[in-house]
Homo-oligomer: A and B are copies of this chain.
Amino acid sequence: MFKIAVVGATGYTGLELVRILISHPVAEVSIATSESYKGKKFSQVFPGFKGLCDLELEDFDASKIVDECDIAFVCLPHGASMEKTKKLYDKGIRVIDLSGDFRFQDVNVYEKWYGIKHSLSDLAREAVFGLPEIFRESISQARLVANPGCYVTSVVLPLYPLISEGIVSSFPVIADCKSGVTGAGRKPSQKLHYPECNESFMAYSVEGHRHNPEMEEALLRATGVETQILFIPHLIPMNRGILSTLYIDVDKDVEWSDIRSIYDKYYKEEPFIRLCEKGVFPSTKDVRGTNFCDIGWEVRKERNKLVIVSVIDNLVKGASGQAVQNMNIMLGLDESVGLLDAPLWI
């Protein structure tokens, strides 16, 4: 059994990692840290996990993690992640960081969008962007993986093959994205208070959201092409799931089947990408609880636009599931081990 440390186990991405790893056949959580709940059992904080994960939550102790574990996930808020990731890295354990702290190679971009000083530019440059469908090779050797943002995953996966093949005729691509509320994290706030969130739909960060530059940088690293995305996020009154609708300029003669051919070329063998038949579009429930990214599309020829609809579970393929996929690669396991459960469709 591989031994796993989850740093920050009581936020939503930490919780979801624990959930996924409980079913993993050759990896198990052996250290779970939490500042707020230390001394309590994980299953006292989340009683649904009684009998499944009764680990005692402990303080962060880099030495102990390095001594006892094979790999560490850092599930802290951005800013808080930086220093602890560095400590773990320096002691030699391989780290998958789920925050935004190491997703930008140029820390100036990070500092601009996160409003925080970044003192670890070397580490930022070394970190591998953890999108396995694109950076699998580097991930397998990485000492530090920066797990992608949820919106980023849902936008970059459908765009990467199209940009690589030069099918996008002009930029910006419009990315109108909608997310369930777990994407906003576990911290209570007025905006996320049940009665104010429920039965209402809103846009946010219309003036610009951190995942916008992250999308563009990921696409640049993946394809070498400077792109422009105009990304607007929205909040759906439900727990899980992101649906991204992309509006892409294409030439007049592009057909549905051309897109299919491109996707087949890039993704035919991918275990977690599923392509829809013509006329079929995915719902977020199709991927609830799973690591899949489902993609459907239509060419609206009268408008010279390709419209793409992609869905992921923001906590799985958009966070902890993708992190486990990265872990599987880093440990030399079959990439899909522990990640092929069926969706909780209803």
In the complex, whether A132 has a CB less than 8 A from a CB of chain B is no
Cβ contact within 8 Å between B281 and A201: no
In the complex, whether A298 has a CB less than 8 A from a CB of chain B is yes
Chain B residues, CB < 8 A from A194: 181, 192-194, 197-198, 237, 239
Interface size class, chain A: 35 or more
- Using A206-B281, A303-B228, A345-B19 as known contacts, say yes or no to A198 and B176 having CB atoms under 8 A apart: no
8 Å CB interface, A308-339 against B: 309, 315
Complex alpha-carbon distance, A197 and B196, angstroms? 12
Cβ contact within 8 Å between B286 and A289: no
Cβ contact within 8 Å between B201 and A230: no
In the complex, whether A48 has a CB less than 8 A from a CB of chain B is yes
Cβ contact within 8 Å between B298 and A346: no
In the complex, whether A274 has a CB less than 8 A from a CB of chain B is yes
Complex alpha-carbon distance, A195 and B186, angstroms? 8
In the complex, whether A211 has a CB less than 8 A from a CB of chain B is no
A234 CB, min distance to chain B CBs, angstroms: 7
In the complex, whether A103 has a CB less than 8 A from a CB of chain B is no
26 contacts between A and B (CB under 8 A): A23-B341, A23-B342, A48-B288, A49-B342, A172-B303, A180-B195, A181-B194, A181-B198, A182-B195, A188-B188, A188-B192, A188-B193, A193-B193, A194-B197, A194-B237, A200-B238, A201-B238, A202-B282, A203-B243, A203-B281, A207-B298, A230-B303, A230-B307, A234-B245, A239-B346, A289-B289
Q: A195-B346, A206-B281 are in contact. List 7 more A-B contacts (CB 8 A).
A: A174-B176, A178-B201, A180-B201, A193-B193, A203-B243, A206-B307, A207-B298
Which of A's residues lie within 8 Å of B, judged by CB? 12, 15, 18-19, 22-23, 46-53, 172, 174, 176, 178, 180-182, 186-190, 192-204, 206-208, 228, 230, 232, 234, 236-241, 243, 245, 247, 274, 276, 279-290, 294, 296, 298, 300, 303, 305, 307, 309, 315, 340-346
